[in-house]
């Protein structure tokens, strides 16, 4: 080929312009991938403009392009990882996960940081205290540095506690919480399954949840002192968790709409929850309709439970307090009335699976009416105007 009219150099590339026998002009260059490119133009002015355009494009590509050594290294890496089913990017990410630096830390120190973080979140005080006690017991039986604690150490601790499957699983979950926190703080390798998560949960036999009967609820109400009565009533007729009631403010009760509106900072999962409330609860809470501030000034319900048990000895010597039985009763009787599991799950702040597992078919429709002190049948106008009873009447 004859000598070019012009040659333009761009960072190791050359753009050459030739005059063809036809009178047109040919621009020739090699792109950043080494592929030869050719374009023809009718005039030299157009060919010069093409040269300028190609120059700019090559500058942009060259600035971010691989060198020859880079390309050879990339091709070699690809040849190594492709037979293993990896891409180069996936292989590099896997390497980063296994080699990412982390800061070693004593197990006891990680526990102290976790507990401090939980207290800043203003979680239930009894929950945080129990978490702290359980994890301190754990730290006393395992290696001093958390990175040296492995699944067998965790299993040995759990088995040594000599507890039932449910408590065993709860302890395991607490250790998982500790290890995930340590990973998030870079005390353990980032983006790697922790040793605690490698410990499989035990299978727990399904049991009927403990709950009170309508007659027992009436005795409990009669035996509860006025200062604690809102806790019993809201737990029984709205299914609110005890620690949520202790966080509640009277502003959450929307009397005219017959709703309890729990803000995120009150609920267990930090999400707003709206619960329709029945006439029985509205009536029994009437003395507090103008109340302001916390629903419960006292924050230790165990003292009231002991008082209730002492008072009920004369009428029901066999009566026993059942943990969470007021909330469990709400879930069971509410499901019996509505047969609407997703709705009850929303009201209780539970998963649909949890409601199905514990509350579906646990009680009859008639028992539900007795618990919520509802007379049936009732006028259609009343059903239509009451947000609680609209679900009760559904499908009937």
- In tens, the pLDDT along 41-57 reads 999 999 998 888 888 77
| pLDDT at residue 81 in the model | 77
Average pLDDT, the chain: 86
Task: Provide mean pLDDT across the span 4-20.
Answer: 84
Residue 332 exposure: Cα atoms within 13 Å on the Cβ side: 23
Residue 1 pLDDT exceeds 70? no
23-32, 87-96, 298-307: lowest mean pLDDT where?
87-96
Residue 38 pLDDT exceeds 60? yes
For the whole prediction, is pTM greater than 0.85? no
Task: Provide mean pLDDT across the span 355-363.
Answer: 84
| pLDDT at residue 64 in the model | 52
| pLDDT at residue 395 in the model | 45
Three-state secondary structure of the chain: CCCCCEEEEECCEEEEEEECCCCCEEEEEECCCCCEEEEEECCHHHHHHHHHHHHHHHHHHHHHCCCHHHHHHHHHHHHHHHHHCCCHHHHHHHHHHHHCCCCCCEHHHHHHHHHHHHHHCCCCHHHHHHHHHHHHHHHCCCCCEHHHCCHHHHHHHHHHCCCCHHHHHHHHHHHHHHHHHHHHCCCCCCCCCCCHHHCCCCCCCCCCCCCCCHHHHHHHHHHCCHHHHHHHHHHHHHCCCHHHHHHCEHHHEECCCCEEEECCCCCCCCCCEEEECCHHHHHHCHHHCCCCCECCCCCCHHHHHHHHHHHHCCCCCCCCCCCCHHHHHHHHHHHHHHCCHHHHHHHHCCCHHHHHHHCCCCCCHHHHHHHCCCCCCCCHHHHHHCHHHHHHCCCC
Q: Encode pLDDT of 73-116 as tens digits.
A: 777 887 887 887 777 777 777 766 655 566 778 999 999 999 99
Dig out the tokens for 73 from the structure. 């290294």
Residue 290 pLDDT exceeds 70? yes
| pLDDT at residue 98 in the model | 59
| pLDDT at residue 387 in the model | 63
Burial 156-190 (b: 16+ CB within 10 A, else e): ebbeeeeeeeeebbebbebbbebbebbbeeebbbe
- The CA angle 40-42-47, to the nearest 5 degrees, is 60
Residue 124 pLDDT exceeds 80? no
Dig out the tokens for 297 from the structure. 């000034």
Dig out the tokens for 20 from the structure. 């063809």
CA 358 to chain centre: 21
Task: Provide mean pLDDT across the span 247-261.
Answer: 95
Q: Encode pLDDT of 165-205 as tens digits.
A: 989 999 999 999 999 999 988 898 876 789 999 999 998 77
Res. 241 pLDDT band, cuts 50 70 90: very high
Does 99 sit behind a cis peptide bond, omega within 30 degrees of 0 on the bond before it? no
Q: Encode pLDDT of 197-227 as tens digits.
A: 999 999 877 777 889 999 999 999 999 999 9
Q: Encode pLDDT of 376-391 as tens digits.
A: 666 566 656 666 666 5
Between 27 and 88, whose confidence is greater? 27
| pLDDT at residue 272 in the model | 92
Res. 396 pLDDT band, cuts 50 70 90: very low
Contact assessment for residue 224 and residue 233, using Cβ atoms and an 8 Å cutoff: no
Backbone angles phi, psi at 19, to 5 degrees: -100, 125
| pLDDT at residue 384 in the model | 62
Strand order in the sheet with 259-262: 253-254, 259-262, 273-276
Residue 348 pLDDT exceeds 70? yes
| pLDDT at residue 60 in the model | 64
Residue 4 pLDDT exceeds 90? no
Residue 62 pLDDT exceeds 90? no
């Amino acid at each position: 080929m004859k000598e070019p009219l012009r040659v333009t150099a761009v960072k190791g590339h050359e753009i050459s312009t030739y005059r063809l026998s036809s009178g047109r002009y040919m621009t020739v260059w090699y792109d950043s991938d080494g592929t030869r490119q050719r374009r023809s133009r009718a005039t030299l002015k157009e060919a010069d403009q093409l040269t300028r355009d190609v120059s700019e494009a090559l500058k942009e590509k060259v600035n971010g392009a691989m060198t020859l050594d880079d390309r050879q290294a990339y091709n070699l890496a690809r040849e190594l990882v492709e037979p293993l089913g990896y891409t180069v990017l996936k292989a590099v990410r896997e390497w980063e996960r296994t080699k990412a630096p982390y800061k070693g830390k004593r197990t006891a120190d990680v526990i102290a940081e976790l507990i401090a973080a939980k207290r800043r979140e203003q979680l239930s005080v009894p929950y945080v205290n129990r978490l702290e006690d359980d994890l301190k017991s754990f730290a006393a039986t395992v290696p001093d540095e958390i990175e040296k604690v492995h699944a067998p150490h965790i299993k040995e601790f759990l088995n040594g506690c000599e507890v039932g499957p449910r408590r065993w699983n709860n302890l395991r979950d607490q250790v998982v919480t500790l290890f995930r926190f340590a990973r998030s703080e870079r005390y353990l390798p980032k983006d790697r399954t922790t040793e605690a998560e490698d410990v499989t949960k035990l299978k727990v036999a399904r049991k009927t949840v403990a709950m009170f009967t309508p007659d027992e609820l009436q005795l409990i109400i009669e035996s509860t002192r006025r200062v604690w009565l809102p806790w019993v009533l809201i737990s029984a007729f709205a299914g609110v968790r005890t620690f949520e009631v202790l966080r509640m403010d009277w502003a959450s009760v929307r009397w005219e709409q017959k709703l309890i509106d729990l803000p995120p900072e009150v609920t267990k999962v930090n999400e707003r929850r709206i619960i329709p409330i029945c006439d029985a609860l509205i009536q029994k809470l009437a003395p507090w309709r103008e109340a302001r501030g916390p629903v419960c000034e006292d924050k230790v319900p165990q003292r009231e439970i002991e008082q209730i048990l002492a008072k009920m000895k004369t009428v029901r010597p066999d009566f026993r307090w059942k943990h969470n039985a007021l909330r469990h009763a709400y879930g069971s009787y509410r499901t019996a009335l509505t047969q609407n599991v997703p709705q009850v799950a929303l009201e209780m702040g539970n998963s649909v699976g949890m409601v199905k597992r514990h509350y579906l078919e646990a009680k009859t429709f008639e028992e539900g009416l007795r618990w919520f002190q509802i007379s049936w049948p009732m006028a259609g106008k009343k059903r239509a105007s009451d947000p609680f009873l609209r679900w009760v009447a559904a499908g009937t």
